């Protein structure tokens, strides 16, 4: 006779499905996420390339134009009369700043335009780390592009104007400081662009404010009384930024240190406005 034994197992009431792992949101994780998103956009590569091309090409063209006029023996045009290898090399900064500033707007305002910001803030509920990460990541990229462009263009331009009155080398007084200032200026322009994109939440709006601030407002200052214009113009973002990388200064401009502090103030003001709106307003 055979005996059949049935084994039954009872599940403890405390035993259930394995809990899902909890993923903590860390600052490093947010930075890595924003880094990946930045380089996944085709516009990043295109616009950074344009910014570098503007900086290098315009600087080289200005140096070639100066060298041509110097060799011709004719009187130098007023725009080139007091030029140096540094000023010629950084002639394209005004064009590069637009490319980097516009890209800064795109990386933040673009998420609001596509609605992707909802997914981003769902993953990072505290919100502000997203703004800090976007600004830090793009600021670092803009700094590298600015430094490489400034030093590279100077080496090219100094070779072109060698033997002229504008000739300078890296060892000359103020040259390295000016080139570093240009790279830092472009870095902060990128941060301002990112902050404006988050503040305005519109690509068109952010770019409009950026262009108006850097190019239109300085022109409008000429409509003010002379005393007002002389006292206010040095503290405009564009003027303060230019003081950061100008080789020479006079009574109408800020010193490099003062220009840096003023421009940092404008940057922090823009970031503060973006942070306030991100925290206080719904997506």
Let me know if 63 is exposed, middle or buried by CB neighbors in 10 A (0-12, 13-18, 19+).
Answer: buried
Confidence of residue 11 (pLDDT cuts 50, 70, 90): very low
* Percent of the chain whose pLDDT exceeds 90: 63
pLDDT score of 122: 85
DSSP string, the chain: ------------TT--SPPPPPPPP-HHHHHHHHHHHHHH-HHHHHHHHHHHHHHHHHHHHHHHHHHHHHHH-SPPPGGGTT--HHHHHGGGHHHHHHHHHHHHHHHHHHHHHHTTHHHHHHHSTT-HHHHHHHHHHHHHHHHHHHHHHHHHHHHHHHHHTTTSTT---TTSTTHHHHHHHHHHHHHHHHHHHHHHHHHH--HHHHHHHHHIIIIIHHHHGGGS-HHHHHHHGGGSHHHHHHHHH-S---TTS--HHHHHHHHHHHHHHHHHHHHHHHHHS--
pLDDT score of 9: 46
Of the two residues 280 and 184, the one the predictor is more confident about is 184
Whether residue 52 has pLDDT greater than 90: yes
pLDDT score of 10: 47
DSSP string, 92-126: GHHHHHHHHHHHHHHHHHHHHHHTTHHHHHHHSTT
Whether residue 219 has pLDDT greater than 50: yes
pLDDT score of 15: 55
Other beta carbons within 10 Å of 53: 15
Whether residue 18 has pLDDT greater than 80: no
Of 148, 167, 165, the C-alpha closest to 157 is 167
* Percent of the chain whose pLDDT exceeds 70: 91
pLDDT score of 1: 42
Query: For residue range 150-205, what is the model confidence (pLDDT) as tens digits?
Result: 999 999 999 999 988 899 999 999 999 999 999 999 999 999 999 999 999 999 99
Q: Which of 32-46, 59-73, 254-268 has the highest mean pLDDT?
A: 254-268
Mean pLDDT of the chain: 88
Of the two residues 58 and 74, the one the predictor is more confident about is 58
pLDDT score of 190: 96
pLDDT score of 70: 84
Of the two residues 122 and 62, the one the predictor is more confident about is 62
pLDDT score of 106: 94
Of 145, 147, 142, the C-alpha closest to 190 is 142
> Cα 271 to chain center, whole Å?
13
Cβ partners under 8 Å of residue 178, min gap 6: 86, 90, 245, 246, 247
pTM (two decimals): 0.88
């Amino acid at each position: 006779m055979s005996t059949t034994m049935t084994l039954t197992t009872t599940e403890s009431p405390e035993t259930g499905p394995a809990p899902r792992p909890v993923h903590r949101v860390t600052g490093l994780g947010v930075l890595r996420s924003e880094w990946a998103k930045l380089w996944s956009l085709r516009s990043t590569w295109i616009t950074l390339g344009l910014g570098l091309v503007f900086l290098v090409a315009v600087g080289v063209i200005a140096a070639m134009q100066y060298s041509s006029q110097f060799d011709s023996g004719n009187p130098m045009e007023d725009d080139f009369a007091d030029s140096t290898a540094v000023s010629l090399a950084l002639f394209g900064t005004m064009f590069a700043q637009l490319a980097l500033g516009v890209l800064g707007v795109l990386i933040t305002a673009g998420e609001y335009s596509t609605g992707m910001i909802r997914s981003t803030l769902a993953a990072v509920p505290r919100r502000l780390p997203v703004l800090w990460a976007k600004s830090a990541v793009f600021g670092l990229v803009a700094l590298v592009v600015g430094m490489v462009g400034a030093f590279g263009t100077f080496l090219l331009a100094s070779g072109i104007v060698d033997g002229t009155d504008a000739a300078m080398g890296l060892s000359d007084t103020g040259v390295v400081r000016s080139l570093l200032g240009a790279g830092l200026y472009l870095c902060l322009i990128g941060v301002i662009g990112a902050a404006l994109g988050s503040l305005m939440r519109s690509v068109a709006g952010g770019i409009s404010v950026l262009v108006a601030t850097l190019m239109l407002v300085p022109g409008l200052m000429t409509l003010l009384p002379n005393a007002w214009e002389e006292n206010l113009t040095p503290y405009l973002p564009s003027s303060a930024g230019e003081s950061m990388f100008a080789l020479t200064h006079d009574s109408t401009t800020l010193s490099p240190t003062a220009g840096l502090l003023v421009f940092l103030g404008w940057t922090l003001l823009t970031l503060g406005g973006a942070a306030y709106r991100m925290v206080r307003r719904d997506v």
